A and B are shown apart, each in its own frame.
Chain A
Amino acid sequence: MKRRDVLKAGAAAAGLGFPAIIRAQQKEVVILGLWDQTGAFADVGPLNDRGMRMALEERKMQILGRPVRYITRDGATQAGTSTRRAEEAIDGEGARFMIGPWSSGVALAVSEVAKRKKVLHFFSGGTEDISGSRCHRYSFQWAASPYTAAKTVVDNFMKANPKARRWHLLVADYAFGWSVEKYIKEVGKGHGIEFVGADRHPLGEREFSNYVQKAAANRPDVVAMINFGGDAVAGAREIFNFGLTPKIPLIMVWSSGVEELIQLSPEIRDNLWVGTNFYYTADTPVAKEFVKNYRERFKTPPGYAPSAAYSMTRLMLAGFDRAKSVEVPDVIKALEGIEVNDLLGRMRVDPATHQTLRPYFFLRCKPKKAMKEELDFADVVATGDTPLPKEYATCKDIGAF
């Protein structure tokens, strides 16, 4: 065989083979999980990944007969890195569906990428802007509206502690903190709450002594923290060290639940009240199955982070099923107004804002002696699902494709 013949045979094989590869690539559905492995939420990203992977594995990594290729990127909890890596995954890997990241401030930047690149984007976090002033056709919000959260927390806390009217707030100084603070104050007016102080701290703060000193000086009836993850843990610890808790109650308004509570000893959790998007004792068939499988695999029960990723993925897959299509506009249309009985019970996506309407949990941590086991952190005091009233809504037009 001459050299020229070998080259011809190679060219023919390539001509036959490449279209097959291209066809195979066209068939697969690429879904991106934008989960932080570094930066302020480095501890959360791996948990998000667990939940998303579990939801995809339940479907055997397939949707509508097509293989799902799940790819992840580390956004480093930074807007620049997250948008750059999301664009690279969209342009380079063909990702048309994206879930994440975890930080509200970063997600707002990623949402703009989704809009520009016409990619379906699911997100869960405390900013109201994704389904509010910066809403658009491609992004969806899974977490409860900050109003729903504030209403659930304030109403139920005041029901149990009607005399606790002097509140001091500690607020994470970014999109999430601002949104929740606004509604805590708004709902608080109806209960005659006096906000004796409201200090803002940067994301990633670990030294809370100065904030707590100021809080103690205000002699509040209750301290409410609107922060998350390591910030919330450090804050709760310092408030205990100063001797404020358990004498006065501490509220974590927007907590991950398990992931934060497990880092606090039972003494620190005494008189701690917690608002969260998910708690693992949620009484629904999907939650029970998910919690059971999660505990078998990872020993601890799931908190908000893996549960949100799990539920967002399931909701997105339900959109595929309803659309009977893997085209982005079809799946978006299918998700708009979709109603499912899923992880949190009845869940519905508001077609006008892309806000998921679902219950929010309010917990009270158990004293050490009442805990049945090491991970029996809290009782669910109440759930609430009051949607954002129309007068506060800032998503006037979700827009076109």
Chain B
Amino acid sequence: MLYALMGLGLSLITGVLNIPNFAHGALFAVGAYFLVTAVNAVGNFWIGLLLAPLGVAVLGLVIEYAGVRRLYAAGHDYQLLFTFGLALILNELIIVIWGPVGISHLPPALLRGGVDLGFTFYPKYRLFVMVAAGLLVLATWLFLEKTRYGAIMRAGIENKEMVSLLGIDIHRLFTVAFAIGAFLAGIAGALTAPIRGLSPGMGVDMLGIAFVVVALGGLGNLLGAIAAGLLIGVAQAVVAAYWTEASTAVIFAVMALVLLIRPQGLFGIR
């Protein structure tokens, strides 16, 4: 579900803004670090979990407004270089602010330890993350499918010129899409922090997986991103149960296999 969350955010940005956001992994890491800072400041995990992604969304607004917006006319090369450079800057800023040494952050007391599910033993916090990420994916999908602004956003993915000609402020749409994408990356990072801990390079692995999800689902296809995130998660879990060492390789094997059969991805049309 976390993969779906990351893929959905990246797919939204890729679809609406038509740029490859290489800073998505760094935003994921910033979300985790914001969580720890917020929890240490307010002393409550749940408030921290709310504040952290909001902070990343604000950061996303600033990035889009001050940087990405100026490069829409410049072409893909510049956008790619900008987001790549931004990822490096954010990574270094994490080291400057929080230090190079990894940090562990505990789940809230209520969700510590594991539960015996009969057929297996599983941590309570991971079960919570599964449910929370599922609800977030559902909420995002409902927003995109059932609200007016969601419809505008989907229309923006299909045909930006037409949306603009209908009198809709396309730049604001871009900014909002980037902020929502950043929010989803931020909350994925915050939810992951107690599971994986925090380290400056934590976004790098997740960025790779997020791009796999986007490519597998079909570039810019939101439903595809959700389906691909689930497919990869399930494939990884199944393989890990029988052949643990191959659990990472299977992510890329699934992508290679699907793209060989459907180069446009599961739900892609381009």
Contact = CB atoms under 8 A, between A and B. Distances in A.
Given A202-B245, A211-B244, A242-B114, A234 B121 contact: no
Interface in B106-129: 106-107, 112-114, 120-123, 125-126
Nearest to B202: A206
Given A237-B104, A267-B106, A199 B244 contact: yes
A201 B195 CA distance: 18
Contact of A201 (B102, B125, B244): B244
B262 interface: no
Contacts of B125: 241
B101 interface: yes
A237 B197 contact: yes
Interface in B225-256: 237, 240-241, 244-245, 247-248
B100 interface: yes
Given A206-B205, A209-B240, A234-B197, 4 more contacts: A209-B195, A211-B244, A216-B121, A241-B126
The 3 closest A-B pairs by CB, nearest first: A243-B113, A210-B240, A243-B114
12 contacts: A199-B244, A207-B247, A210-B240, A210-B241, A213-B122, A216-B121, A230-B102, A237-B104, A241-B123, A241-B125, A265-B106, A267-B106
Given A43-B100, A230-B102, A263 B120 contact: no
A233 interface: yes
B83 interface: no
A347 to B, nearest CB: 29
B244 A241 contact: no
Contacts of B102: 43, 230, 233, 263
Interface of B: 100-107, 112-114, 120-123, 125-126, 194-197, 199, 205, 237, 240-241, 244-245, 247-248
Contacts of A71: none
A241 B196 CA distance: 10
Contacts of A216: 114, 121
A109 B199 CA distance: 29
A291 interface: no
Contacts of A217: 120-121
A214 B240 CA distance: 10
A244 B205 CA distance: 27
Contacts of A264: 104
B235 to A, nearest CB: 13
Given A241-B126, A243-B112, A268-B104, A234 B196 contact: yes
A265 B194 CA distance: 11
Contacts of A207: 196, 247-248
Contacts of B105: 265
Contact of B103 (A43, A199, A244, A263): A263
Contacts of A199: 244
Contacts of A259: 101
Given A43-B100, A207-B247, A267-B106, A241 B197 contact: no
Nearest to B119: A217
Contacts of A201: 244-245
A294 to B, nearest CB: 15
A390 to B, nearest CB: 35
Contact of B101 (A243, A263, A265): A263
Contacts of B247: 207, 210
Interface string A225-243: 0000010011001100111
A173 interface: yes
A242 B244 contact: no
A241 B129 CA distance: 13
Contacts of A244: 114
Given A209-B126, A243-B112, A233 B104 contact: yes
A243 B116 CA distance: 11
A241 B101 contact: no
A382 interface: no
B196 A213 contact: no
Given A263-B103, A264-B104, A173 B245 contact: yes
Contacts of B197: 233-234, 237, 263
A262 interface: yes
Nearest to A205: B248
A234 B194 CA distance: 11
Contacts of B112: 241, 243
A200 B245 contact: yes
Contacts of B103: 263
Contacts of B248: 207
A242 B123 CA distance: 5
A59 B251 CA distance: 52
A106 B194 CA distance: 32
